[in-house]
Chains A and B, each alone.
Chain A
């Protein structure tokens, strides 16, 4: 047991800080600091900068990334500093989700074709999992892929597809066979979004933003070689991927940044003769959140340490998903509470950051953020489902 950083860790931290000072583009930083949603180009530009420093696909095996391996501690330091500087969140669908599937289950051709373009952020991926009738019960999915000659003909509807409007490719769970055990007929298919028969329709959410979509697939022809793994192996791949998805889901470093921002801002909000942070009720909530956050941080560190010693992220990642998302929601709620009436004026995405908003200059994105974050306890396997996973897999109930 040792919580101290070594000299080389400390020097790594200095390297990250210096890199951010020099390489984090000021135009993106300005938008990020104002909480203005980024354009596709800006996200890609930032990912390419990270990649040039070998700090993008840090969790890939080095044989695929070509990176020099970072230690668990260095990864932790990197993520903490990236979040502290409020750099953009990298888009997980290609780098964090599809790529691990491809290098773990894909053919040599698939690796050659897709991994470099993901690494270089030249191709944007989205995830085709949920369907209108299949949310928590993902295995009930109905999108059908029928093998005709050397092509699959795909028909069905995917929903809640995040940023599909930007995507070049989609990885999909499809049904290739009707089996008595529904999990057994599912396969994992890579589909080019330019293929005829694909239509993307926006879903507007309660914060007024367009982040998720419906994706309609109507007789979409997909070459047989775009199947990953064997037919019927899709469910195992999905389970592997969900564990991957959850392991980074706690987003601890970003939460630490937001909590300290909350402290800072609430010490500037007047309340009678003092400020809001001096109000015992509000202060208690901040400190309770701080304790929960620290606990979650160390739960994550213990999980990561176990993984670095050859363990795999199992049901423990469900703990991180639940605690991380609860913290995201709590902190976003405290921002709303902090602003009181000035959380109410409502602006659309393209108005946030403009000079037309009223109240403190940081006010406009606060309520949309709170509303948007109601999704986090629903997506990636709802928190009810995560509790089922823990009760079954860890407690043996």
Chain B
């Protein structure tokens, strides 16, 4: 049993921490979030130079070959800075899929541009009716000669506006809810037949709804084996749950600490409000929720890394806890900041908003409790 990080891991953690401290003031973050692009290309280049964009790609394919621990450390620091650059979407959700399952052509086309910070990706898995069920897929891909013709609708595709390529799940056989018969395709975001509606999301990021209308792609666009895409998708989402949970842990840490500091300085009735026992206990609960999430995060990350039999169960347990704790910590941080907590000006409300979307993304607490029970 060892909960310490090795030298390399500690170095990355320090690097990211310093980047946030030096380059990511709250005002900068807000300006980036409110900009047309929604993040900074310059920052993205910096991530590339520091080697972070290759973290989920193996050394054989020119990446850093990092483990899930490195991704976890990066994401936790990103959570503290409420970083809006689409690291989760391009790197964690998508690049690792192509690293492991992409054909040679796909790897050549994508991996080195991604590592160099020249390409963005998005994983288009959700559909209006699917809720959190990855195998509920209506979008169809029909083989026609050497091509596939895709028709369907993908909803709330995170990083959709900036993605140069999408990984799309589509049904190649079977019924709407079947796991078997789902295939993944890598397609250009500007290919004929795609209509994209881009929008801001409540957490200060961006997403798209995507209509696919007779989108014709070559046979080589298939990722992995025909009809066997579900396992790839499921693995990608598990990895992404670990990453987004790390982000949540970082955000919760900032929130509980910010709230503690605020209650030390905010005076009412002639005394700092942090002296009131009811608020002290509330903050102790916030702190404990954060610690509990961190424990499950470490546990689940290591189990997934080791390929343990119960890794999936651990991941669902973690996401359940993150959903529940994120809501509690977020809501109470706002409550304890009083009116200031609901202002757009203060960062607290924005951390709360990100924790709110994290609670839903990849399945909410109810969904993962059900998964946990079933596993």
Interface residues in chain A, defined as those with a beta carbon under 8 Å from any beta carbon in chain B: 130, 133-137, 140, 159-160, 203-206, 208, 212, 269-273, 276, 279, 281-282, 336-337, 340-347, 358-359, 367, 370-372, 374-375, 377-379, 382, 384, 387
Using CB atoms, name the residue of chain B closest to A272.
B177
Looking at the assembled complex, report how far the CB atom of B82 sits from the nearest CB atom of chain A, in whole angstroms.
Answer: 13
- Fill in one digit per residue for B318-362: 1 if any A CB lies within 8 Å of its CB, else 0: 000000000000010011001101111100011011001100110
Interchain residue pairs with CB less than 8 A apart (7): A281-B369, A340-B360, A342-B156, A344-B360, A367-B202, A379-B339, A384-B278
Looking at the assembled complex, report how far the CB atom of A56 sits from the nearest CB atom of chain B, in whole angstroms.
Answer: 29
B203 at the interface (CB under 8 A from A): yes
Q: Which chain A positions have C-beta within 8 A of B356? A: 336, 367, 370
Contact A374 B331 (CB under 8 A): yes
Segment of B20-28, B131-139, B306-314 engaged in the interface with chain A: B131-139
Contact A271 B131 (CB under 8 A): yes
Q: Which chain B positions have C-beta within 8 A of A346? A: 199-202
Contact B349 A206 (CB under 8 A): yes
Contact A359 B339 (CB under 8 A): no
Q: Which chain B positions have C-beta within 8 A of A134? A: 268
B3 at the interface (CB under 8 A from A): no
Q: Which chain A positions have C-beta within 8 A of B352? A: 206, 374
Q: Which chain A positions have C-beta within 8 A of B199? A: 345-347, 358
Contact B136 A272 (CB under 8 A): yes
With A340-B360, A341-B155, A344-B156 already in contact, the answer to whether A205 and B344 are too (CB < 8 A) is yes
With A204-B345, A344-B203, A345-B207 already in contact, the answer to whether A270 and B366 are too (CB < 8 A) is no
Q: Which chain A positions have C-beta within 8 A of B243? A: none
With A340-B132, A384-B279 already in contact, the answer to whether A135 and B200 are too (CB < 8 A) is no
Give the 9 A-B residue pairs with the shortest CB-CB distance, closest first.
A206-B349, A137-B268, A341-B156, A346-B202, A204-B344, A270-B129, A281-B366, A344-B201, A137-B269
B334's partner among A140, A270, A374 (CB-CB below 8 A) is: A374
B370 at the interface (CB under 8 A from A): yes
Q: Which chain A positions have C-beta within 8 A of B360? A: 336-337, 340-341, 343-344
Q: Which chain A positions have C-beta within 8 A of B209? A: 358-359
Contact B202 A378 (CB under 8 A): no
The distance in angstroms between the C-alpha atoms of A341 and B156, with both chains bound, is 7
The distance in angstroms between the C-alpha atoms of A160 and B369, with both chains bound, is 40
Using CB atoms, name the residue of chain A closest to B132.
A340
Q: Which chain A positions have C-beta within 8 A of B278? A: 384, 387
Using CB atoms, name the residue of chain B closest to A344.
B201
B121 at the interface (CB under 8 A from A): no
Q: Given A205-B344, A341-B361, A382-B338, 11 other A-B contacts at CB below 8 A?
A: A136-B338, A140-B269, A271-B131, A279-B366, A341-B155, A345-B201, A345-B202, A358-B209, A370-B356, A374-B341, A378-B335
The distance in angstroms between the C-alpha atoms of A394 and B250, with both chains bound, is 42
Contact B268 A344 (CB under 8 A): no
Contact B155 A130 (CB under 8 A): no
B197 at the interface (CB under 8 A from A): yes
Label chain B's interface by main secondary structure: mixed
Looking at the assembled complex, report how far the CB atom of A361 sits from the nearest CB atom of chain B, in whole angstroms.
Answer: 13
The distance in angstroms between the C-alpha atoms of A389 and B55, with both chains bound, is 55
With A137-B268, A340-B132 already in contact, the answer to whether A203 and B202 are too (CB < 8 A) is no
Using CB atoms, name the residue of chain A closest to B268.
A137
Using CB atoms, name the residue of chain B closest to A351.
B199
The distance in angstroms between the C-alpha atoms of A137 and B270, with both chains bound, is 9
Contact A378 B341 (CB under 8 A): yes
The distance in angstroms between the C-alpha atoms of A204 and B342, with both chains bound, is 9
The distance in angstroms between the C-alpha atoms of A208 and B350, with both chains bound, is 11
Using CB atoms, name the residue of chain B closest to A375.
B342
Contact B133 A272 (CB under 8 A): yes
Q: Which chain A positions have C-beta within 8 A of B276? A: 384
The distance in angstroms between the C-alpha atoms of A337 and B363, with both chains bound, is 11
B65 at the interface (CB under 8 A from A): no
Contact B364 A344 (CB under 8 A): no
Q: Which chain A positions have C-beta within 8 A of B369? A: 281
The distance in angstroms between the C-alpha atoms of A371 and B331, with both chains bound, is 10
| Best-surrounded residue of B132, B334, B370 (most CB of chain A within 10 A) | B334
B92 at the interface (CB under 8 A from A): no
